[in-house]
Structure 1
Amino acid sequence: MSLRERLARLRVDTTPLRESRDFRLLFWAGTVFYLGGMVSYVAVPFQLYHLTHSNFAVGLLGIIELVPLVVFGLYGGALADHVDRRTMVLGTGIAQAVLTLGLVLNASLPHPQVWTIYLIGAMLSAAQSLQRPSREALIPRTVRHQQLSAAVALSSLGMQIGLLAGPALGGVLIQAVGVTWCYAIDVTGMVIACLLFARLRRYPATDRSNPPSLKGIVEGLHYAVRRKDLMGTYLIDIVAMFLAMPTVLYPALAATVLHAPSAYGLLISVGTVGSLLATATSGWTARVHHHGRAVVLAAATWGAAVALAGLTTNLWLVLACFALAGAADMVSGIFRGTIWHQTIPDSMRGRLAGIEMLSYSLGPLGGQARAGLVADRFGVRASITSGGVLCVAGVAVTAAWLRGFWAYDARTDEHALHERRVREAREAGPATEAAT
C-alpha cells in the first residue's frame, strides 16, 4: 500500500454526510447550535463578574445549573424513548432561543439583573438537558449500522468547531460590541438550528413505550448496570475525568509555573486542537473492533499525557502534552459513542443517552474540585502530575474489575450482533430511515 493510500485511510469518513440527508441536518444544526452556545459560554461569566466583581458569583452559576442537569437529563432521556425525537429537539431548541432572548433583553437594560441571569441559566440547563438525549438518540436512526463510528466522529467534529471558534468569537464581540451582541449571535444560531431541525423527518418511538416515569428511568439505570460494556464506558470516563481534569488550574499554571500569563488562551484551546486532529484522522477507527480495549488505552494515554504536562515547565512541551491528552480523550469518546450507538436498543436509547450525559458531565465537575483542592494543598504541578498518575492507575484498576469490557469485540458481542440484525432488517425494508 502506498503512502498516499495509507494517508487516505486516516481521513475522517464523511460517508454519513454524503449519504444521509437527516444526518447532514443534524450535523449542521448541532454545529451552529454549539458555536452560538460557546459565544454565550464566555459572555455569561464575563457579565456576571462585571456586575458583581465576585468569583464566587461566577462559580455559583455552575452550582445552580447542576440540579436541572441531573433531573432533566434523566427525564429527557425517558421522554426521548416515548415521543417523537424530532419534536423534542425542535421544541427544546425553540425554548432555548426564547430563553437566550431573555439574556439579550436583560443585558440591554441600564442595570442588568444578576438574579435574571441565574434564573435563565437554570432554565437553559433544563432545556439543554431535555434536548441532548433526543439529539444523541437520533444519530443511530439516521445512518447505517456500519457508519456509526464515522457518524460519532463527525458529530464530535462539529462540536470541536464550536469549541475553537465560539470562545474566540465571543471574546472579540465582548471587547468590540458587548455581551448583548454575544447573546444575540447565540439566538441567531439557535433559530438557524431550529429551522434545520424542522426539516428532519419524524422519528417516533420504534416500539411500544410507556410515558416517562420514575419506574422507566430506574429501568434504564438497571439496564446500564447489568451490562459491563456500558458500565465500562461510563466508569472509565468518570475515573479519567475526575482524577486528571486540569482545566481549572490553567490560570495558575500559566501565571505561576510557566510564567506566561498570556499563554492561558493557548492552554484553553490546545486540547481542542488535539481533539480536532484526532477526529480529522479518525478513518482508522472503523477498522478497530475491540472498542473496550481502545477506550481503556485512550483513557490511560490521557492520564499519562496530563502527568507529563505537570513534570515540565517548558511551555511548548506542556502544550504538546495537553494536545496529546485532547486527542486521546477524543479517541476514547469515539469508541464509547460507537459502543453506545451499536449496542443499545432504540427503545432504551433515550434513557441511556441521559445517563451518558450525566457520566461525562459529573466527572469533569468533580475533577475540577479535586484539582483545585490538591493544588491549594500541594501546588499546581503536584496536582496535575498526581492526577495523571492516579488516572492511569484508576483506569487500569477499573478495567481489571470490568474484565469483560477489555475483551469487548463488536464482531462477536451479543448486543452488537442483535442490533446489527435489527437495523439490517429495518434498512432492507421499504421505509429505510437512513435514506439519502
Structure 2
Amino acid sequence: MRLGDLVVDVAPLRESREFRFLFVARLVSLFGFGLTTVAIPVQVYGLTGSSIQVSLVSLVIMVPMLAGTLAGGVLADRMDRRRLILLARGGAVLVFAALALNASLDHAHLWAIYLCAALNSVLNGLSATALMAATPAIVGRGQLAAAGALMAITAELGAIVGPSVGGALTAGLGLAWNYGLTAVATAITTGLVSFIRPLPPTGEVDENPVQSIVEGLRFVARNRVVAGLLLIDVCVALFTMPFALFPELAERVFEGGAGVVGLLYSAPAVGAMIAATASGWTGRVRRTGHYLVGATIACGVAVAGFGLSNGVLWLALVSLALLGAADTVSEILRRSLLQHNTPDHLQGRVSSLWLAQTNIAPALGNFEAGVLARLVGPVTAVVVGGALCVVTSSAVGAAMPALRRSSLQDPSADDLASA
C-alpha cells in the first residue's frame, strides 16, 4: 500500500459540483446540530432540575426519528430527493426559530421544547435518508467509499466543534442566541442544497406505501450482502457501545471526575477523525468484505482492551481511540457496500432501514451495557461486550460468504440490472 493511499480521497469534492455543495451543507448542518445537543439538555434541566426529564428528551427524539427515517425511505424513492431535503431542512429552520422564541420568553414552555425536539427528529430522519439515497447518483458508484469518508469527517468535526461552541455560546449569550444561530446554520444548509440538480426517482412509484416498504424488506431478505451488512452493523452497535458506563468507570476504576469522563468521550472521536483522514485506501482495495469483517472484529478487540486497561488512563484512551478508528473504517465500508449493492430505485428504502438501525441499536447497546454492569460489574461488562462483538462478527462473516467476498470493484447493482 502506497503512502498516498493513506490520505483521504478528495476526488468527489474535486470532480462533483453537487457533492461540494452537499459536503459544505452537511458540515454546516452538523455544526448547528452540535449546538442544540448542549442547548436542549441545559434548558430542560434548568426548567425542571430533573435528569429524568432530560433523559425523556432523548426518548422523545428517538421515536420520531425512527418514524421520519422510515417515512423518508418511502418518500426518497417516490419523489425528487433534492426537494425532500429542501422541505425537511426548511421546516427545521422554523423549528429552531420557534425554540429561539420560546427561550427568549420570561418563562419558557417545557412542552414547546418537547414538541420542537420531536418535530426536528422527524425532519432529520427525512433529510438524512434522502441524503444517503442521493449520494450514489451524485458521486457515482466508483467513489462511494471516498464520499463516505468525507461525510464521516463532517460528522466528527460537527461532534467536536459544535458542542464546544454551543456550550460557550449558551454560557456567554444565552439559549436564545444558541437556537438562533442553529436556525441560521440550517437556513444556510437549505440554500446550499438548492444548488444541487434535481434528483427524481428512477423506479416505478405507483404502488402504495405499504407495498413499497415490503418491497424494500424483500430485497434485503434476498440479498445476502445487504442482509449481512445490516447484521454485522448490529454486532458493532450492540456490543461496543459502553458509553453509558463512562461516568461510573471514571469514578471507580480511573479515580477521576468530570475531566476524565470528558476524555473518555473524546477519545473515540479522535481515533475516528484520524481514520477518516487516512481512508484513501478504502475505495481501492479489492477484498472489501474481508476488510469490513476485520474492522468489525477490531472494534471488539479495542473495547475488550479498554476494559482490561486496569485503571491505566493512557492505555484506556488509546484503546478507545482504536475503537473510534476501527468503527469509522467499518462504517465507511458498510455504507459504501450497502449503496453499491442496492439499485437506485431502492436506495431510499434500504437506506432508511440502515439508518433506523443505526439510531436504535446504539441506544439498545448502551442499555445492554448498563444491565450487564449491574449484574457483573462495569469492567466485566465492557470486556464481555468486546468478546461478544468478536464472536458475533466472526460468525456473521463465516455464515455469509457473499458478504466476505463482496467488493467495491465488482459491478454495482445498477450495472448488473443493466446487463
TM-score by length of 1: 0.92
1:406 maps to: 404
Q: Structure 1 residue aligned with 2:266, among 236, 255, 269?
A: 269
**Separation in 1, partners of 2:354, 2:313:** 34
Q: Contact between 1:244 and 1:367, CA under 8 Å: does it hold in 2? A: yes
SS of match in other structure, 2:197: coil
Return 395-404 or 11-20, whichever deviates more: 395-404
Q: Contact between 1:249 and 1:371, CA under 8 Å: does it hold in 2? A: yes
**Separation in 2, partners of 1:210, 1:96:** 29
Q: Contact between 1:75 and 1:212, CA under 8 Å: does it hold in 2? A: no
Would you say 1:370 and 2:368 are equivalent positions? yes
Would you say 1:392 and 2:390 are equivalent positions? yes
Would you say 1:331 and 2:326 are equivalent positions? no
Gaps of 5+ in 2: none
Q: Contact between 2:66 and 2:359, CA under 8 Å: does it hold in 1? A: no
2:281 maps to: 284
**Separation in 2, partners of 1:86, 1:118:** 28
Q: Contact between 1:43 and 1:179, CA under 8 Å: does it hold in 2? A: yes
1:122 maps to: 118
Would you say 1:419 and 2:414 are equivalent positions? yes
**Separation in 1, partners of 2:172, 2:377:** 37
**Separation in 1, partners of 2:409, 2:182:** 42
1:14 maps to: 10
**Separation in 1, partners of 2:417, 2:275:** 31
Q: Contact between 1:291 and 1:336, CA under 8 Å: does it hold in 2? A: no
**Separation in 2, partners of 1:337, 1:66:** 21
SS of match in other structure, 1:223: helix
Would you say 1:252 and 2:282 are equivalent positions? no
1:356 maps to: 354
Q: Percent identity?
A: 35
Deviation at 1:211, TM superposition (A): 5.9
**Separation in 2, partners of 1:167, 1:331:** 24
1:297 maps to: 294
**Separation in 1, partners of 2:27, 2:327:** 20
Return 158-167 or 252-261, whichever deviates more: 252-261
SS of match in other structure, 2:64: helix
**Separation in 1, partners of 2:185, 2:163:** 14
**Separation in 1, partners of 2:107, 2:253:** 39
SS of match in other structure, 1:165: helix
Would you say 1:196 and 2:192 are equivalent positions? yes
Deviation at 1:212, TM superposition (A): 5.6
Describe the shift of the 1:160–1:210 C-alpha distance in structure 2 as closer, same or farther (beyond 3 A): farther
Q: Structure 2 residue aligned with 1:135, among 113, 131, 135?
A: 131
Q: Contact between 2:337 and 2:407, CA under 8 Å: does it hold in 1? A: no
- Please tell me the residue identity of whatever aligns with 2:414: E
TM-score by length of 2: 0.95
Deviation at 1:267, TM superposition (A): 1.5
Q: Contact between 1:205 and 1:347, CA under 8 Å: does it hold in 2? A: yes
**Separation in 2, partners of 1:259, 1:103:** 39
Deviation at 1:31, TM superposition (A): 0.7
Q: Contact between 1:229 and 1:292, CA under 8 Å: does it hold in 2? A: no
- Please tell me the residue identity of whatever aligns with 2:57: L
Deviation at 1:417, TM superposition (A): 4.1
Deviations 1:157-205 (A, max 9, x none): 1111101111111121222222222212211110110010111111111
Would you say 1:38 and 2:34 are equivalent positions? yes
**Separation in 2, partners of 1:282, 1:183:** 34
Describe the shift of the 1:174–1:375 C-alpha distance in structure 2 as closer, same or farther (beyond 3 A): farther
Q: Contact between 1:82 and 1:211, CA under 8 Å: does it hold in 2? A: no
SS of match in other structure, 1:12: coil
**Separation in 1, partners of 2:186, 2:276:** 25
Deviation at 1:128, TM superposition (A): 0.8
Describe the shift of the 1:211–1:167 C-alpha distance in structure 2 as closer, same or farther (beyond 3 A): farther
Alignment coverage as a number of residue pairs: 417
Deviation at 1:356, TM superposition (A): 1.0
SS of match in other structure, 2:107: coil
SS of match in other structure, 1:27: helix
**Separation in 2, partners of 1:56, 1:214:** 36
SS of match in other structure, 2:168: helix
Would you say 1:81 and 2:77 are equivalent positions? yes
Q: Contact between 1:75 and 1:217, CA under 8 Å: does it hold in 2? A: no
- Please tell me the residue identity of whatever aligns with 1:40: T
Deviation at 1:135, TM superposition (A): 0.7
